[in-house]
Amino acid sequence: MINATAVKKYSISLILISVLSLNSSQLSAQENTGFIKKLIKKFVSSEKDSSRSGSFVVLPAVGYAQETGFEYGIASTYNFYIDKENLDSRTSNVTLIGTLTTKKQKNIKLTSDIWTKNNDYHIISELRFRDWPFNFYGLGNDTWKADEDYLDQKLYRIKLDGEKRFAPNFYAGINLNYENFQFNDIESGGIFESPEVLGKDGGQYMALGVSALYDTRNNTTYTTNGFYGRAKYSYAPNFFGKDNFVGNQIEFDIRGFYPITKYLTVAAQGLFRGTYGKNVPFYVMRELGGDMTMRGYYLGRYKDKNYMTAQAELRYRFHPRIGINGFLGTGSTFSKQHDMRLIPSYGAGLRYFFSLEHNSSIRFDYAFGEQRPGEKRQSGFYLSISEAF
């Protein structure tokens, strides 16, 4: 799942959507005079493709922001079955997002979520390079927009999770996470220079760990029934010395999906992420916001060692190709230094299902957050591929 764009400070974004889905049985149709009609029918028809073919979606994006200048790029995903013959085979996907700006900033991210034959193994991976500015507001959940500090960031990331099925619906495995951060404070004298902010120059770490998953979802892309529970632990040893992060990371992700009618589903999620160590640099702390949880908040507006959130969605798919939803949630970052302060997140969205075979969707969400004294209400528009959870 990716966030193709969101409303940010001083930004004006124009998103152009292009959808394309091809498989080997359709390639010859491009030479026929009726190709355009067949293509239109493919994305309007309510009939499912019986060939269990893959589906591909591309979202070109053009935008402008004061800190980046003119931005252009694509976001795309390919959904497919490893084993087409097995009707219980889960959908695998590979997602690529890449954007460039006229100020020479870059963001390239390649992710995959693979289910092997008979769903025996579950493999998750991420490769990312990000040379992109972001706004830093300080640590804790009581930060203010007036303290906004503009930073340049370079990020290199490698993630790999591999899990094996040991019992029906139960998986366990190992994980690896490497991250390398570099920062440049563009505006000196700001809140980034606060003494409680550790790791101002950046750093690198490699964490190794284990995970366990219990998954009874009827579908991994648009779930209408089932349960998902995943626990993940990792430890970052002192591989690199200096002031790099050494410590533990924990994550618990619990989801439930309850059908009310054939077309109406209630979905709920509880999420906890924690980071522990003697001197925790700010770049490994947990961030609130984004397009997956606590929608309506700039990702990183609130940042601390721990993050907890709960959200629920009412999903109504009134047509095979189209659905709507409403969502609400609450959450907070917190630590020994900063108490928990629950804040709201709520909004609504539209879904277009570009692949009926894989139940794969393009998601349009608009969300609202809190309104702090003297500030405008926080909000954001999100254009993403697949559901938030």
DSSP SS3 for 35:
helix
* pTM for this prediction: 0.87
Exposure of 283 by Cβ count < 10 A (0-12 exposed, 13-18 middle, 19+ buried)?
buried
pLDDT attached to residue 25? 44
What is the band of 69 on the pLDDT scale with cuts at 50, 70, 90?
Answer: confident
Residue extents of the structural domains in the chain: 2-385
| Torsion angle of C-alpha atoms 189, 130, 181, 342, degrees rounded to 10 | 70
For 353-379, give the DSSP string.
EEETTTTEEEEEEEEE----TTSPPPE
Lowest-confidence region among 11-20, 86-95, 309-318: 11-20
Lowest-confidence region among 20-34, 107-121, 374-388: 20-34
CB atoms within 10 A of CB 318: 10
Rounded CA-CA distance 86/76 in Å is: 26
Rounded CA-CA distance 287/290 in Å is: 9
CATH class of 2-385: mainly beta
pLDDT above 70 for 271 = yes
pLDDT above 50 for 160 = yes
pLDDT attached to residue 70? 85
Contact criterion met (CB below 8 Å) for 328 and 311: yes
pLDDT above 50 for 190 = yes
For 270-315, give the DSSP string.
EEEEEEEESS--GGGSEEE-SSSSSTTS-TTSEEESEEEEEEEEEE
